[in-house]
Amino acid sequence: MDSGSNLDTLMARYQAGDFAAVTALVECVGPQLHRFFRAQSASRSDADDLLQETWLRIHRVRHTYRLGEPVLPWFYAIARRVRIDHYRKAGRTTARERRLEEVSDVAAMLPGDEAQADDLETLLAPLSESQREVIRMMKVAGMSLEEVARATSSSVGSVKQKVHRAYRNLRDRIAMGPKKESSGGLP
């Protein structure tokens, strides 16, 4: 019996409830899947996490494997989806962290004493009411663009525009802040 049909047999046994078969599958296919992740991952730790997530997902969807079809392509299809999901999630997390850093930088750079800089209303005071509203919903309440759009009866594009303009207004205020203070004492 070749290794492909051996894997297919092990998968059929696993589906039937023979959990000893999963141990054999992990020993046979695990190193191949780990190499697959390691070749495309920056760290061994990420590859280990992706491999573990793949086996968990295989376990959850093992009933969808069709007996008689090659199991190795099925494993790799699941591994590929796990990898894609991981990188999408990492991208969203990085984007959120970057946006939060921008807001923190804005708060840290505003002129005035530190107690005022911590006060959200003071930070948002120069903005229009609609800009303050979308910033509060997104940054304080943690709502998505779509949720803010529904709550304000606006389009997603309109919400994006308001947020962009609010950030631009805050950045402009920061850029102009020290100039106003230094020129304020001139005759």
CATH architecture of 3-89: Orthogonal Bundle (1.10)
pLDDT at 58 over 70: yes
Is 110-183 assigned to CATH 1.10.10.10? yes
pLDDT for res 14: 94
Each residue's pLDDT tens digit, 108-138: 555 544 444 356 667 777 888 788 777 877 7
For the full predicted model, state whether its pTM sits above 0.75.
no
Average pLDDT, the chain: 79
How many other C-beta atoms lie within 10 A of the C-beta of residue 109? 15
Is 114 in contact with 107 (CB distance < 8 Å)? no
Name every residue whose Cβ is closer than 8 Å to that of residue 136 and which is 6 or more positions away in sequence. 120, 124
Each residue's pLDDT tens digit, 145-180: 887 787 777 898 998 999 999 889 888 877 776 544
Residues of the chain with CATH 1.10.10.10: 110-183
**Nearest 10 degrees: Cα torsion 34, 38, 43, 44:** 30
Residues of the chain with CATH 1.10.1740.10: 3-89
What is the rounded distance in angstroms from the CA atom of residue 48 to the CA atom of residue 41?
10
Regarding predicted confidence, which is higher, 102 or 11? 11
